[in-house]
Amino acid sequence: MTYLMIDIESDGPIPGDFSMICFGAVVVEPALDRTFYGRLKPISDRFVPEALAISGFTREETLAFDEPKEVMLRFAKWIAEVGGKRPLFIADNNGFDWSFVNWYFHHFTGKNPFGFSSQNLGSLYKGLVKDTFQTFKHLRKTAHTHHPVDDARGNAEALIRMKLEMGLKLSFE
């Protein structure tokens, strides 16, 4: 199985009513050099200005982004190329990130290459250290910039450190 660290930015709280603006994915392996980045044209007229501002893009800029179906088809192809027999979706906030990626895959391609499950990096770390009040974020090397590839890379670095420094059983395929 291959872990793919995912991060998304959106212009609102839920998929369908609001849009996934951009997302990034990084194959969790020591090199961290296999990445995917997609920018998607909004699917709705609705947006929350404060949510959109986090992405660093204006509404006008997002309207020139790629058609969501094209981006999701490219992402599915990339996952098939790098994901091995079983690609695993993992994210810092998988409840949020997963909901958008899952909705977009089903809506635009008819299926989600990740299947029906995802994993949460923060929960994994809390279990590893046996303390629900702890956070993994000090394990990142790459700054958290809200560019989704940077953020996914930082989270992947944290997961790799959990393996190498803390004994987490995890294989790199």
Residue 122, domain member (yes or no): yes
Residue 56, domain member (yes or no): yes
User: Choosing from 138, 144, 146, 147, which is the catalytic residue?
Assistant: 146
Task: Tell me the per-residue pLDDT of 98-126, one tens digit each, with 9 for 90 and over.
Answer: 999 999 999 999 999 999 999 999 999 99
Distances (CA, A) of 47 to 13, 88, 136: 9, 30, 31
Number of domains in the chain: 1
Task: Tell me the per-residue pLDDT of 50-93, one tens digit each, with 9 for 90 and over.
Answer: 999 999 999 999 999 999 999 999 999 999 999 888 999 999 99
Residue 171, domain member (yes or no): no
Residue 173, domain member (yes or no): no
Domain that residue 117 falls in: 2-166
Which residues of the chain form beta strands (DSSP E)? 2-10, 20-27, 35-39, 87-91, 119-120
Residue 172, domain member (yes or no): no
**CATH number for position 134:** 3.30.420.10
The pTM (predicted TM-score) of the whole model is 0.96
Catalytic status, residue 146: yes
Residue 33: both structure tokens together: 């050099």
pLDDT at 173 over 80: no
